[in-house]
Amino acid sequence: MGLTNSSVGLKTIGAGLTAQKQAPGDKVVALAGNPNVGKSTVFNALTGLNQHTGNWPGKTVASAQGRCATRQNAYILVDIPGTYSLMAHSAEEEVARNFICFGGADAVVVVCDATCLARNLNLVLQTLEITPNVVVCVNLMDEAARKGIRLDLDLLSARLGVPVVGAAARRKKTLAGLLGTLDRVCGDPGGRGCAPLAVRYPQAVENAVARLQPAVEKRCGGRLSSRWLSLKLLEGDPTLGGELRARLGRDPLQDPEVSAALVKARAELAAQGIDGDRFKDLVVAALVKAADGVCQGAVLTKGHPYTALDRRLDRLLTSRLTGYPVMLLLLAGIFWLTITGANYPSQLLAQGLFWVQDRLTELFLYLHAPAWLHGALVLGVYRVLAWVVSVMLPPMAIFFPLFTLLEDAGYLPRVAYNLDRPFKRCCACGKQALCMCMGFGCNAAGVIGSRIIDSPRERLLAILTNNFVPCNGRFPTLIALLTMFFVGAAGGAFSSLLSALLLTGVIVLGVAMTFVMTRLLSKTLLRGVPSSFTLELPPYRRPQIGRVLVRSVFDRTLFVLGRAAAVAAPAGLVIWLMANVTVGGASVLNHCAAFLDPLARLLGLDGVILLAFLLGFPANEIVIPIVIMAYMAQGSLVDLGDLAQMKALFAANGWTWATAVSTMLFSLMHWPCSTTLLTIKKETGSWKWTALAAALPTAAGTLACIAFTAAVRLIG
């Protein structure tokens, strides 16, 4: 059996949107499964599309599609969002259900976790009610074997009435059986060779379905499962109306026969004390009972599926006594590795990029280009780009893989678990912790990550407060000031360790401000009760280091760097023009700094620093270079070479330790960069919320700087 891989772009599969077939003979296969069962790993292994495969629930909110082929068929695989059920209680469940029902899939592969199969079968049984063309892929068979779990796949297949295949998706060759089974299922489009298990519900529910189903069958005309649709109508699912109108021409409830049958069925249920919530409870209980029955005797377990080591690690990482200290130590360790490891590569990269600048200068001289053109394009646009790349790329290339390793190992769900209670006290959702963690790399990524939060109110809370966590672009400023004024610029291992610890303290302050502002918004503009959600603590897994490196470089590092470079280029031109256009014997840059100076002094800064933050709006990385350029009266960004020279320059221009603290406070809390604000506008669709997202941290930073400066002056 041969496999051919080709990658295609990411595609969001929302309500009512179907995968586009690339050729008439292509088969569309939906890839479904609970969060954290390796569904995206199966997808990547089959298609070669390196989609992000985060080891926490709810990571895949948009769907991806990719191609693979066997000797019999060409397949389009659609990786739909991970979900625990198809009852549409969340955005993920609604998208998954709609694609399975209305997406035109020829087959559905439901990926299950071999280490906890009974829980996963809930989704399998619901899928079987919609379509018989189902293949159950029991993944993580290798982990199950290590934990003493043995599965009789033939018995499971006989009980479910559909094919069941085993796999360990991290080893691609184990998926050959899945593709062969898909060939057989897709060769039987009506599911004539299958006898899917039909869940038996309590007699009252079955009677109600029997009364409603004939009328629904007439209305569906075989286009949908009449039994499944009858259950949904009895449940009163409000999310189905639009999709049913698109599929059937009109809402079945507008059919008099269906409407009358539904009224009678509900009246019979009500007479037996079964209301809407009780109906759902009965359905869920029947599904759980059926899943347990399927597993009875087919899943044999020796001991607990979680190993003793897993339980010991959880006691360490999630207890109230040790969970938070370990979390802070890991964060400090990541920052120390990032600070220590990024120095030398950053220096080499800067030397290489500025060597290219010298060659560009020689080219402009050779072409006899005007001095202003050389200044604008080389000393302005290119130099700012080179600075941003040399400062951003090495730390990101270290930070993102380390962060992704924690994600792959299963630690990030423990972070969300630890922070769930504080966020609940702020009337927010514990999933916001995951968005906050993403913000350490890039606040724009954290904003996009808020899609995993189901509640619109809580999603908005996460978006509006994400900027209080410092992103990768603000690390250079914070690290430089901490090292110069509080650690010592001499360098060495102790210096980098102390810088990492102090940086961790600054970040803890940012996290604390996130809680404060979240609670403030929850009690004012965004009042509400925190919603509940299911957070699975997955088994610890050995990270795939090679995949982590590739994924973090292409999915995160280069993506974020590209966006920063796109806004840094025009900023470089503006900065050069302001530094080189003079009015009354002084540059526009100096005039603007003088104008801002009175306000800046109130904040414990000076006009140059405040102007640097304003001009650093496209990319936070260029704040310190702009300050240096203004102090030295240079026409372009300047690199002093070491922190000792930089500290001497700052001290000569009136900096003290208090100035450094005020600058760090304002760096920690000020308006988001342009990329983040554009992302907020795209996610919220509102300029009002975008403006509030900029105003909140700016107001907090301004008040913090004013209060700190007043306290220093009072004490001094």
User: What pLDDT digit, counting tens, does each position of 212-221 carry?
Assistant: 988 888 877 7
Q: Are residues 427 and 380 in the same domain?
A: yes
Q: What is the pLDDT of residue 193?
A: 60
Q: Is the pLDDT of residue 52 over 50?
A: no
- Least confident interval from 152-156, 295-299, 446-450, 452-456: 452-456
Question: How far is it, in rounded angstroms, from Cα 396 to Cα 473?
Answer: 9
| Residue 104 and residue 131 in contact, taking contact as beta carbons nearer than 8 Å | no
Question: What pairing do the DSSP bridges indicate for beta strands 4-6 and 27-33?
Answer: unpaired
Taking the alpha carbons of 329, 334, 335, 336 in that order, is the dihedral positive or negative? Answer: positive
CB atoms under 10 Å from CB of 627, counted, come to: 27
Domain boundary among 161, 186, 211: 186
Q: Are residues 491 and 624 in the same domain?
A: yes
Question: How far is it, in rounded angstroms, from Cα 629 to Cα 307?
Answer: 58
State the residue for tokens 């691609």. 172
Cβ neighbours for 340, distance < 8 A, ≥ 6 positions apart: 493, 496
Q: What is the pLDDT of residue 3?
A: 40
Q: Are residues 238 and 167 in the same domain?
A: no
Region 530-557 average pLDDT: 68
| 285-299, 311-325, 434-448, 482-496: range with highest mean pLDDT | 285-299
Question: Is residue 102 one of the residues assigned to a domain?
Answer: yes
Q: Could you tell me the pTM of the whole model?
A: 0.67
Token reading at 593: 């700094």
Question: How far is it, in rounded angstroms, from Cα 66 to Cα 49?
Answer: 6
- Least confident interval from 268-272, 299-303, 366-370, 382-386: 299-303
- Least confident interval from 333-342, 645-654, 664-673, 683-692: 333-342
Q: Is the pLDDT of residue 405 over 70?
A: yes
Region 18-33 average pLDDT: 71
> Which neighbouring-strand residues pair with 582?
587
Q: Are residues 233 and 178 in the same domain?
A: no
* pLDDT confidence tier of residue 82, bands split at 50, 70 and 90: confident
Q: What is the pLDDT of residue 564?
A: 66
Q: Are residues 496 and 638 in the same domain?
A: yes
Q: Are residues 21 and 120 in the same domain?
A: yes
Q: What is the pLDDT of residue 21?
A: 47
Q: Are residues 138 and 101 in the same domain?
A: yes
Tens digit of pLDDT for each residue in 375-388?
Answer: 889 888 888 788 77
| 94-98, 153-157, 536-540: range with highest mean pLDDT | 153-157
Number of domains into which the chain is organized: 3
CATH number at residue 49: 3.40.50.300
Question: How far is it, in rounded angstroms, from Cα 442 to Cα 471?
Answer: 5
Q: Is the pLDDT of residue 23 over 70?
A: no
Q: What is the pLDDT of residue 662?
A: 95
* pLDDT confidence tier of residue 53, bands split at 50, 70 and 90: very low
With H, G, I as helix, E, B as strand and everything else as coil, classify residue 624.
helix
- Least confident interval from 176-180, 396-400, 425-429, 651-655: 396-400
Give first-to-last CA distance, the chain, whole Å. 79
Tens digit of pLDDT for each residue in 175-195?
Answer: 888 999 998 888 776 556 668
Q: What is the pLDDT of residue 8?
A: 32
Q: Is the pLDDT of residue 702 over 80?
A: yes
Q: What is the pLDDT of residue 62?
A: 52
If you average pLDDT over every residue of the chain, what do you get? 81
| Residue 85 and residue 123 in contact, taking contact as beta carbons nearer than 8 Å | yes
Q: What is the pLDDT of residue 494?
A: 60
Region 395-421 average pLDDT: 80
What are the DSSP calls for 220-257, one per residue? Answer: HTTSS-HHHHHHHHHHT-TTSHHHHHHHHSS-GGGSHH
* pLDDT confidence tier of residue 582, bands split at 50, 70 and 90: confident
Q: Is the pLDDT of residue 407 over 80?
A: no
Question: Is residue 195 one of the residues assigned to a domain?
Answer: no
| Residue 100 and residue 178 in contact, taking contact as beta carbons nearer than 8 Å | no
Please provide the size of the chain in residues: 716
> Helices 308-318 & 323-366, crossing angle to 10 degrees?
80
Write b or e for each residue in 78-109: b if 16 or more Cβ atoms lie within 10 A of its Cβ, otherwise e: bbbbbbbbbbbbbbbbbbbbbbbbbbebbbbb
Phi and psi torsions of 357, nearest 5°? -60, -40
Question: How far is it, in rounded angstroms, from Cα 667 to Cα 673?
Answer: 11
Phi and psi torsions of 164, nearest 5°? -125, 125
Q: Is the pLDDT of residue 92 over 70?
A: no
* Choice between 600 and 435, residue whose per-residue pLDDT is larger: 600
Phi and psi torsions of 111, nearest 5°? -85, 130
Q: What is the pLDDT of residue 599?
A: 94
Taking the alpha carbons of 493, 497, 498, 499 in that order, is the dihedral positive or negative? Answer: positive
Question: Is residue 552 one of the residues assigned to a domain?
Answer: no
Q: Is the pLDDT of residue 508 over 60?
A: yes
Q: What is the pLDDT of residue 638?
A: 64
* pLDDT confidence tier of residue 421, bands split at 50, 70 and 90: confident
- Least confident interval from 95-99, 163-167, 262-266, 687-691: 95-99
Residue type, 54: G
Question: How far is it, in rounded angstroms, from Cα 701 to Cα 604?
Answer: 12
Q: Are residues 290 and 358 in the same domain?
A: no
* pLDDT confidence tier of residue 406, bands split at 50, 70 and 90: confident
Region 35-40 average pLDDT: 82
Tens digit of pLDDT for each residue in 355-364?
Answer: 999 999 999 9
Cα separation values, 251 from 102, 225, 255, Å = 14, 15, 8
Region 129-151 average pLDDT: 89
Domain that holds residue 62: 4-186
Taking the alpha carbons of 304, 308, 310, 313 in that order, is the dihedral positive or negative? Answer: positive
Residue type, 212: L
* pLDDT confidence tier of residue 342, bands split at 50, 70 and 90: confident
Region 611-628 average pLDDT: 84
* Choice between 17 and 420, residue whose per-residue pLDDT is larger: 420
Q: Is the pLDDT of residue 240 over 60?
A: yes
Token reading at 582: 């003079």
Q: What is the pLDDT of residue 498?
A: 76
Question: Is residue 536 one of the residues assigned to a domain?
Answer: no
- If residue 658 lies in a helix (H) or strand (E), which one and from where to where? helix 657-668
Q: What is the pLDDT of residue 304?
A: 55
Q: Are residues 562 and 429 in the same domain?
A: yes
Question: Is residue 309 one of the residues assigned to a domain?
Answer: no
Question: Is residue 313 one of the residues assigned to a domain?
Answer: no
Phi and psi torsions of 134, nearest 5°? -125, 140
Question: Is residue 315 one of the residues assigned to a domain?
Answer: no
Question: How far is it, in rounded angstroms, from Cα 198 to Cα 160?
Answer: 9
With H, G, I as helix, E, B as strand and everything else as coil, classify residue 385.
helix
Region 476-491 average pLDDT: 76
Question: How far is it, in rounded angstroms, from Cα 65 to Cα 287?
Answer: 30
Question: Is residue 432 one of the residues assigned to a domain?
Answer: yes
Question: How far is it, in rounded angstroms, from Cα 215 to Cα 196?
Answer: 23
Q: Are residues 165 and 268 in the same domain?
A: no
CATH number at residue 234: 1.10.287.1770
Q: Are residues 288 and 337 in the same domain?
A: no
Q: Are residues 250 and 347 in the same domain?
A: no
State the residue for tokens 């590795």. 337
Q: Is the pLDDT of residue 455 over 90?
A: no
Residue type, 661: V
Question: How far is it, in rounded angstroms, from Cα 89 to Cα 704?
Answer: 41
Cβ neighbours for 559, distance < 8 A, ≥ 6 positions apart: none
| Residue 34 and residue 113 in contact, taking contact as beta carbons nearer than 8 Å | yes
Cα separation values, 549 from 38, 41, 42, 404, 555, Å = 18, 15, 19, 9, 10
- Least confident interval from 44-53, 329-338, 429-438, 487-496: 487-496
User: By percentage, how much of the chain surpasses pLDDT 90?
Assistant: 25
Region 2-9 average pLDDT: 35
State the residue for tokens 């189902």. 134
Region 444-455 average pLDDT: 79
Domain boundary among 155, 186, 217: 186
